Amino acid sequence: MIVTVTANPSLDRTIEVDRLRRGEVQRAIGDRVDPGGKGVNVSRALVANGHATRAVLISGGHAGTELLDLLAEAGVPIIEVPVSLGVRSNLTLAEADGTVTKLNESGPVLRAEEIEELLDAAISAPPNYALQTPSSSIERPTAWIAGCGSLPPGVSDDFYAVLVERARAAGAATVIDSSGAALEACLAARPDLVKPNLEELAEASHTPIRTLGDAVKAAQVLRASGAGAVLASIGADGAILVDADGVWHARATATGPVASTVGAGDAALAGFLAAGGRGPEALAAAVAWGTAAVSLPGSIMPAPKDIDLGAVEVTRTPDSGRVLS
């Protein structure tokens, strides 16, 4: 069971244009509305591929109602935490050449009791937890709790750190996919896995990244700060996994046209967890799912027919001098 926690979900509208011309009135060539938020996307990808998940998220307002309806239509099991203010609506402008412009609202201000209800819902969501050895180390987690995305106003930067500590006490493994202060604050709580993109990795490690070797060093900084493992998306160059067993790099050997990069990192995390949440096989799945996602419009999550594991190459000793795209 993979439980996702989305403190700041959204209703995501994508409008497609041939080319965005600022200051002009122009007609859209396509549009769609999707449920949004990083954890929501992870759960959507898991459901699309037949994996058990539950999406814990706040809801409120007209956008929140539409968001829940869309998730129900997609068959995503939901644990709803009602809040007094409405969830946010985001707008994505997608141009024909692949350029994406996102306009994201901040989200509702949450009260202290609403934050506590969200944490309680996350911890009580999995039906069972990991079997533990006498040394209390998790061998094969039967439950992952994934804290994903930005935090809305009113939520302290230590939200994910608290989530990690409570999940560990309950016996679940944890992954955090966030950025900025929230990502850095969670490291001291020792999450089992963190999943930054390249920009987030550089920011959290305070390390400039130009090459594959730089990315590995930055991931090692996060591990030294408390992360058990680091799964980092590095754009067109695939992803790296740095954990106690070593370093791996995976990339797609064949890619098609890019339709949208929105949600690709979330699909990658879903693939990694679906494939066991550790090791090179899970890394290969992450890249395959993420590569499939960028070929689809809006934030559509890939289905089995879209995913090609055979088109992913995994290397145990990455080329540290490789300049990243």
User: In this predicted structure, what is the pLDDT of residue 142?
Assistant: 60
Can you give the pLDDT at residue 120? 96
207 three-class SS: coil
- What's residue 291's pLDDT? 96
The pLDDT, as a whole number, for residue 319 is 84
The answer to whether 38 touches 266, Cβ cutoff 8 Å, is yes
pLDDT at residue number 132: 39
Q: Nearest Cα to 88, choosing from 112, 127, 57?
A: 57
Strand pairing report for 100-103 and 88-95: antiparallel
Q: Which two tokens stand for residue 32?
A: 């769609």
Confidence at residue 136, expressed as pLDDT on a 0 to 100 scale: 38
Structure tokens belonging to residue 76: 């995503």
Nearest to 58 by CA among 144, 12, 145, 122: 122
Q: What is the pLDDT of residue 325?
A: 83
pLDDT at 129: 52
Residue 212, pLDDT score? 96
The pLDDT of residue 59 is 96
Amino acid 264: pLDDT: 94
pLDDT of residue 128: 57
The answer to whether 266 is a known catalytic residue is: yes
What the chain holds in terms of domains, given with CATH numbers, is 2-315 (3.40.1190.20)
- The pLDDT profile of the chain, 325 residues, written as one tens digit per residue, is 999 999 999 999 989 999 999 999 999 999 989 999 999 999 999 999 999 999 999 999 999 999 999 999 999 999 999 999 999 999 989 898 878 898 999 999 999 999 999 999 999 987 655 443 333 343 444 689 999 999 999 899 999 999 999 999 999 999 999 999 999 999 999 999 999 999 999 999 999 999 999 999 999 999 999 999 999 999 999 999 999 999 999 999 977 788 888 899 999 999 999 999 999 999 999 999 999 999 998 789 999 999 999 999 999 977 889 999 8
Distance between CA atoms of residues 320 and 325, nearest Å? 14
Per-residue tokens: 134: 């006498």
Radius of gyration (Cα) for the chain, nearest Å? Answer: 19
| Catalytic pick among 266, 306, 308, 319 | 266
User: Is residue 221 classed as helix, strand or coil in its secondary structure?
Assistant: helix
